[in-house]
């Protein structure tokens, strides 16, 4: 889909509608579990034999679409924020040139 590069939307810092520039954020560095997080400790306990053994990762190509991670940067306070919807899925994503 095509998305406008600039748009008027609510800025939580300025507490009013200002002009924002939309950008895609890279998901690099995300998704790595903390070595001693709650979930990791639970997972390690499972590997040691407590509870049921963890299931292997599901095989397959996964989903045909990727979730678009949009960030909006306010032109007034220069702060960026995300939308509450948490993004949407799209096969092909590009910015519309006005
Ligand atoms: Zn702002």
pLDDT number for residue 98: 64
User: What separation in Å is there between the alpha carbon of 7 and the centre of ligand 1?
Assistant: 13
Neighbour-count burial of 80, counting CB atoms closer than 10 A to its CB (0-12 exposed, 13-18 middle, 19+ buried): middle
What is the structure's pLDDT at 21?
92
Contact between 77 and 68 (Cβ < 8 Å) = no
- Alpha carbon distance 31, 86 (integer Å): 16
In this predicted structure, what is the pLDDT of residue 18? 94
Q: What digits encode the pLDDT tens for the residues 29-64? A: 566 767 778 888 888 888 888 877 777 767 777 778
Between the CA of 83 and the centroid of ligand 1 the distance, in Å, is 14
Note residues around ion ligand 1 (Cβ under 5 angstroms).
11, 13-14, 74, 76-77
Tell me, in angstroms, the distance from the centre of ligand 1 to residue 92's CA: 29
Distance 42 CA to ligand 1 centre (A): 41
Instruction: Give dist(CA 93, CA 23) in Å, integer.
Output: 11
Q: What is the pLDDT of residue 82?
A: 84
Q: Which residues contact 95 (CB under 8 A, 6 or more apart)?
A: 2, 3, 4, 5, 22
Q: What is the pLDDT of residue 26?
A: 65
CA distance 32 to 30: 6
pTM, full prediction:
0.59
């Amino acid at each position: 889909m095509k998305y406008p590069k600039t748009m008027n939307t609510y800025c939580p810092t300025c507490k009013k509608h200002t002009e924002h520039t939309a950008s895609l954020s890279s998901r690099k560095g995300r998704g790595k579990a903390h070595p001693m997080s709650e979930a990791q400790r639970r997972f390690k306990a499972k590997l040691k034999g407590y509870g049921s053994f963890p299931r292997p990762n599901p095989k397959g190509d996964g989903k045909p679409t990727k979730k678009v991670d949009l960030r909006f940067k306010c032109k007034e306070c220069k702060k960026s924020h995300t939308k509450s919807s948490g993004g949407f899925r799209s096969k092909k994503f590009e910015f519309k040139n006005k």
